[in-house]
């Protein structure tokens, strides 16, 4: 599943030009990948609808389809692929590991022990698996390997006796109790786990789930939650299970946070679950942070412009929006031709065509300005003009010309605002043609 999402995104981002069809194809690929990852079909539908809504209804004008698509996918997947907002505190505590048979509990006990040891806490691993032959030696060996304490009684079959003793004997900061698993959640397992719980009163009860059970993970979490106050999930075998997606989503569905993921058999192949990091890797985008940052900036910018227009402020941003609006309406020429006597600038046809080329250059000039310059164009002096010209590949003269046009436009704007110009019927006609959302603030 993981590879498939990565491939689809990489195919999408490498395209030169992106249109709605590409977006739809990308969403379909993600749907396929999630279904292969054993994510519940209803959830897959929810995920894709949410991505679609963002891409098609919420995209701000100034952000590219490509960037916004990646951002939307990232945000939605981060939400559904596991809650990751909880971390284990580095303090004295008792942790109980529970889960079905063969999910990786014993391995995880050692991995978790190693995690605390590396962070400066002393650790004791306690064997409370009295059913599986070899469970005692498996945990003992692991404890020796990572160099932490161990407690167990090889011959004792009464788990309560072992645990009472363990609590007296173990003086370490973190006590990790490895319990026995079963093939399913049955009466025997419930009774024993309750007994352990009553004896130990653990600070954390972590449910260990193997990634390969896929969407069944939801039922497992729910069943365990009925009998114990589960405080977090650890999902193992993320490296080998094709169905990890379904297991991850179970966290979203049951509202139980994923604390760690197991990514291999070795002790170090264990990491804190961070949905953001996980999804970044899933999307295969190393520079995702940079992209998200850029999109966020553009979103804020768009919001600021809207506010400025609403408040009736005037600056380069508003001017730029006007330029874009006029381009959308068609050429200057057409607008001016439609309104007799509106040739305010006194231009001929050829000149008007030239004006259109100019506007295109003005966009480059605008792009080369800093935020500060756009907000306060009055600070643009000759050295700034030289820099902007260089950056936009235009002549200094052209930058000056744009600034002049800006000033004229500002004057006009202020005239409209004060209401003088509005009384002119010709002006009313023009304003009617402008996109209404753009001029709301000035009307």
What residue ranges bind Mg ion (CB under 5 A)? 105-106
Closest CB to ligand GDP among residues 99, 149: 99
**236 interacts with, out of ligand GDP, Mg ion, none, CB within 5 to 8 A per kind:** ligand GDP
Cα 73 to its chain centre, rounded Å, is: 8
Instruction: Count residues binding ligand GDP (CB under 6 A).
Output: 17
107 binds ligand GDP (CB under 6 A): yes
CB of 138 to ligand GDP, least distance (A): 6
Cβ proximity to ligand GDP: between 118 and 360 the closer is 118
Q: Which is nearer to ligand GDP, 102 or 435 (CB)?
A: 102
Instruction: Name the pairing type of β-strands 232-236 and 258-262.
Output: parallel
Region of 292 (left: φ > 0; alpha: ψ -120 to 50; beta: rest) is alpha
Closest to Mg ion by CB, 34 vs 209, is 209
Continuous H helices in 266-315: 275-283, 288-311
By the 10 Å C-beta count (0-12 exposed, 13-18 middle, 19+ buried), 219 is classed as middle
Does 199 engage in binding with ligand GDP (CB under 6 A)? Answer: no
Of 71, 237, 243, 438, which one interacts with ligand GDP (CB under 6 A)? 237
Q: Say which entry of ligand GDP, Mg ion, none residue 103 contacts (CB below 5 to 8 A, set by partner kind).
A: ligand GDP
Using CB distances below 5 to 8 A depending on partner kind, what does residue 202 bind out of ligand GDP, Mg ion, none? Answer: none
CA atoms within 13 A on the CB side of 282: 26
Minimum CB distance to Mg ion, residue 134 (Å): 9
Q: What is the smallest separation between the CB atom of 104 and Mg ion, expressed in angstroms?
A: 8
Phi, psi angles (nearest 5°) of residue 242: -75, -15
Do the beta carbons of residue 110 and residue 145 sit within 8 Å?
yes
Pick from 29, 239, 274, 353 the residue near ligand GDP by CB under 6 A: 239
The contact pattern for ligand GDP, residues 160-189, with x = CB under 6 A and - = no contact, is ---------------------x--------
107 vs 231, which CB is nearer to ligand GDP? 107
Candidates 45-53, 55-63, 212-220, 232-240: pick the segment binding ligand GDP (CB under 6 A). Answer: 232-240
Q: How many C-beta atoms surround the C-beta of residue 345 within 10 A?
A: 12
Q: Which residues, other chains included, contact 199 with Cβ-Cβ below 8 Å and sequence gap of 6+?
A: 159, 160, 163, 164, 167
Near ligand GDP by CB under 6 A, which window of 1-9, 35-43, 102-110, 403-411?
A: 102-110
Closest approach, Cβ 133 to Mg ion, in A, equals 11
Q: What does 240 bind: Mg ion, ligand GDP, none (CB cut-off 5 to 8 Å by kind)?
A: ligand GDP
Contact predicate 434/325, CB 8 Å: yes
Q: How far is the CB of 125 from ligand GDP (least distance, A)?
A: 12
Residue nearest to Mg ion (CB): 106
| Nearer of residues 105 and 243 to Mg ion, judged by Cβ | 105
Q: Which stretch binds ligand GDP (CB under 6 A): 192-200, 231-239, 276-284, 285-293?
A: 231-239
Strand duo 174-179 + 232-236: pairing: unpaired
Nearest-10 Cα torsion for 330, 332, 338, 342: 150
Cα(208)–Cα(197) distance, integer angstroms: 16
Q: Which is nearer to Mg ion, 1 or 110 (CB)?
A: 110
From CA 76, how far away is CA 53, in angstroms rounded?
11
265 binds, among ligand GDP, Mg ion, none (CB under 5 to 8 A by kind): ligand GDP
Closest CA to 314 of 381, 382, 378, 359: 378
State how beta strands 270-272 and 258-262 pair: antiparallel
Element (H, E) at 245: helix 244-254
Distance separating alpha carbons of residues 410 and 316, to the nearest angstrom: 9
Q: How far is the CB of 371 from ligand GDP (least distance, A)?
A: 47
Q: Are 98 and 205 in contact (CB under 8 A)?
A: yes
Candidates 72, 103, 280, 394: give the one binding ligand GDP (CB under 6 A). 103
DSSP lists the bridge partners of residue 127 as 178
Chosen residue from 106, 114, 315, 392 binding ligand GDP by CB under 6 A: 106
CA neighbours closer than 13 Å in the CB half-sphere of residue 395: 4
93-98 vs 204-210, strand pairing mode: parallel
- Using the contact rule CB under 6 A, the part of the chain among 158-166, 260-268, 275-283, 373-381 near ligand GDP is 260-268
Q: Are 211 and 243 in contact (CB under 8 A)?
A: yes
- CB of 265 vs ligand GDP, minimal distance in Å: 4
Q: Are residues 259 and 234 in contact, defined by beta-carbon separation less than 8 angstroms?
A: yes
Shortest CB 261 distance to ligand GDP, Å: 8
Q: Does 114 bind ligand GDP (CB under 6 A)?
A: no
Dihedrals φ, ψ of 182, to 5°? -140, 170
**Interacting residues with ligand GDP (CB under 6 A):** 99, 101-107, 181, 236-237, 239-240, 262-265
């Amino acid at each position: 599943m993981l590879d498939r999402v990565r491939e689809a995104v990489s195919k999408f981002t490498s395209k030169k030009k992106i249109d709605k069809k590409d977006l739809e194809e990308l969403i379909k690929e993600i749907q396929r990948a999630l279904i292969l990852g054993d994510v519940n079909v209803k959830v897959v539908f929810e995920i894709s609808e949410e991505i679609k809504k963002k891409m098609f209804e919420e995209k701000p004008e100034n952000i590219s389809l490509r960037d916004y698509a990646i951002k939307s996918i990232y945000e939605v997947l981060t939400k559904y692929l596991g809650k990751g907002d909880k971390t284990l505190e580095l303090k004295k505590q008792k942790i109980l590991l529970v889960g079905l048979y063969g999910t990786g509990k014993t391995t995880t006990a050692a991995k978790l022990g190693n995690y605390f040891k590396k962070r400066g806490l002393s650790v004791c691993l306690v064997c409370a698996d009295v059913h599986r032959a070899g469970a005692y030696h498996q945990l003992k060996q692991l404890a020796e390997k990572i160099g932490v304490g161990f407690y167990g009684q090889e011959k004792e079959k009464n788990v309560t006796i072992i645990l009472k003793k363990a609590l007296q004997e173990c003086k370490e900061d973190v006590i990790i109790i490895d319990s026995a698993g079963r093939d399913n959640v049955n009466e025997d397992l419930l009774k024993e786990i309750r007994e352990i719980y009553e004896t130990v009163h653990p600070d954390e009860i972590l449910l260990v789930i193997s990634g390969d059970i896929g969407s069944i993970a939801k039922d497992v979490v729910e069943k365990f939650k009925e009998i114990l106050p589960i405080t977090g999930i650890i999902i193992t075998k993320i490296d080998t299970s094709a169905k990890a997606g379904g297991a991850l989503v179970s966290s979203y569905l049951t509202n139980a946070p994923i604390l760690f993921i197991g990514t291999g058999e070795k002790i170090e192949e264990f990491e804190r679950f961070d949905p953001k990091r996980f999804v970044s890797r899933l999307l295969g985008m190393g520079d995702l942070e940079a992209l998200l940052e850029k999109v966020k900036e553009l979103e804020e910018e768009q919001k600021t412009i809207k506010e400025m227009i609403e408040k009736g402020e005037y600056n380069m941003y508003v001017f730029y929006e006007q330029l874009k609006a006029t381009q959308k309406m068609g050429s200057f020429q057409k607008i001016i031709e439609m309104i007799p006597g509106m040739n305010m600038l006194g231009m001929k046809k050829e000149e008007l065509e030239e004006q259109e080329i100019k506007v295109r250059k003005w966009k480059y000039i605008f792009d080369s300005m800093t935020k500060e310059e756009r907000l306060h164009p009055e600070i643009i002096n000759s050295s700034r003009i030289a820099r902007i010209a260089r950056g936009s590949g235009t002549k200094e003269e052209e930058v000056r010309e744009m600034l002049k046009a800006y000033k004229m436009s500002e004057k006009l704007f202020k005239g409209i605002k004060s209401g003088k110009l509005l009384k002119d019927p010709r002006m009313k006609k023009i304003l009617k043609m402008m996109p209404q959302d753009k001029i709301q603030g000035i009307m």
